[in-house]
Amino acid sequence: MTESLQLPNGKADTRTRSRSDSPSTVATSSSSNRPATPISDATFSLSQVVIGCKVFVAKLMSNNETEFRKAEILSIRGRPDDGSKHEYYVHYVEFNKRLDEWVDASRLNLTKGIEYPKLKKQKSTLGPGKDVAATPPPESPMRAGSNRKSAAPTPLSRLHSDGEAATPSTPGIESLKRKAEDCATPDGATETEDVVMLDPDEPENNRASNHAPQVFSKEQEIEKLRTSGSMTQSVHEISRVKNLNSIQMGRHEVETWYFSPYPQEFAHADMVYICEFCLCYFLSKKQLERHCLKCQLQHPPGNEIYRHEDLSFFEIDGRKQKTWCRNLCLLSKLFLDHKTLYYDVDPFLFYCMTLRDEYGCHLIGYFSKEKESAEGYNLACILTLPQHQRHGYGRLLISFSYELSKVEGKIGSPEKPLSDLGLLSYRAYWTETIVGLLLETNEDITIDEISQRTAITPQDIMHTLQNISALKYYRGQHIICLGDKVIENYEKQKKKKRRVIVPEKLQWKPIHFTQAQLRFI
Domain-located, residue 72: yes
Same domain, 413 and 472: no
Which stretches does DSSP call E strand in 373-442? 377-379, 381-384, 413-414
Same domain, 269 and 353: yes
Same domain, 494 and 447: yes
Same domain, 379 and 453: no
Domain-located, residue 468: yes
Same domain, 413 and 276: yes
Burial of 102 (0-12, 13-18, 19+ CB in 10 A): middle
**pLDDT tens figures, 220-246:** 555 554 444 434 344 555 668 888 889
Q: Domain with 111 in it: what CATH number?
A: 2.30.30.140
Domain-located, residue 173: no
176 backbone dihedrals φ, ψ, rounded to 5°:
-65, -30
pLDDT of residue 356: 95
Domain-located, residue 385: yes
Average pLDDT of every residue of the chain: 76
Q: What CA–CA distance (Å, rounded) separates 225 from 475?
A: 62
pLDDT of residue 475: 83
Contact 18, 1 (CB under 8 A): yes
Same domain, 381 and 450: no
Burial of 262 (0-12, 13-18, 19+ CB in 10 A): buried
Domain-located, residue 213: no
| Chunked mean pLDDT (size 10), the chain, 521 residues | 43 40 36 37 78 93 89 83 76 91 91 86 56 47 39 35 34 36 37 36 40 51 46 54 91 92 86 96 95 95 95 96 94 86 85 95 96 91 94 95 96 88 92 94 90 96 94 86 93 90 95 80 54
**pLDDT tens figures, 344-386:** 899 999 999 999 999 999 999 999 999 988 888 999 999 999 9
Contact 36, 47 (CB under 8 A): no
Three-class SS state of 266 = helix
Q: Domain with 461 in it: what CATH number?
A: 1.10.10.10
pLDDT of residue 432: 95
Q: Domain with 289 in it: what CATH number?
A: 3.40.630.30
Which of 115, 221, 403, 415 is flagged as catalytic? 415
What residues contact residue 504 under an 8 Å CB cut-off, 6+ apart? none
pLDDT of residue 497: 85
Interhelix angle 420-440/484-494, nearest 10 degrees: 100
Which element (helix H / strand E) includes 474? Answer: strand 471-474
Same domain, 403 and 475: no
Contact 243, 259 (CB under 8 A): yes
Same domain, 87 and 65: yes
Same domain, 401 and 295: yes
pLDDT of residue 367: 96
Same domain, 489 and 434: yes
Domain-located, residue 327: yes
State the pairing for strand pair 377-379/413-414.
Answer: parallel
**Which of 97, 115, 133 is the endpoint of a domain?**
115
pLDDT of residue 91: 94
The structural domain count of the chain equals: 3
Same domain, 342 and 402: yes
pTM of the model: 0.69
Domain-located, residue 51: yes
pLDDT of residue 54: 95
Same domain, 282 and 301: yes
Would you report the helix, strand and coil content of the chain in percent, each value rounded to 5? Answer: 25, 25, 50
Instruction: Name the nearest CA neighbour of 157 among 50, 76, 54, 31.
Output: 50
**Which of 61, 84, 115 is the endpoint of a domain?**
115
pLDDT of residue 236: 55
pLDDT of residue 30: 36
Q: What CA–CA distance (Å, rounded) separates 38 from 45?
A: 8
State the pairing for strand pair 246-249/195-197.
Answer: unpaired
The range of the structural domain enclosing residue 336 comes to 254-417
pLDDT of residue 455: 96
Sign of CA dihedral 280, 417, 117, 73: positive
Contact 315, 350 (CB under 8 A): yes
Q: What CA–CA distance (Å, rounded) separates 471 from 476?
A: 13
Q: How many CA atoms lie within 13 A of 249 on its CB side?
A: 23
Instruction: Name the nearest CA neighbour of 367 among 316, 322, 298.
Output: 316
**Which of 417, 433, 458 is the endpoint of a domain?**
417
| Residue 415 appears among annotated catalytic residues | yes
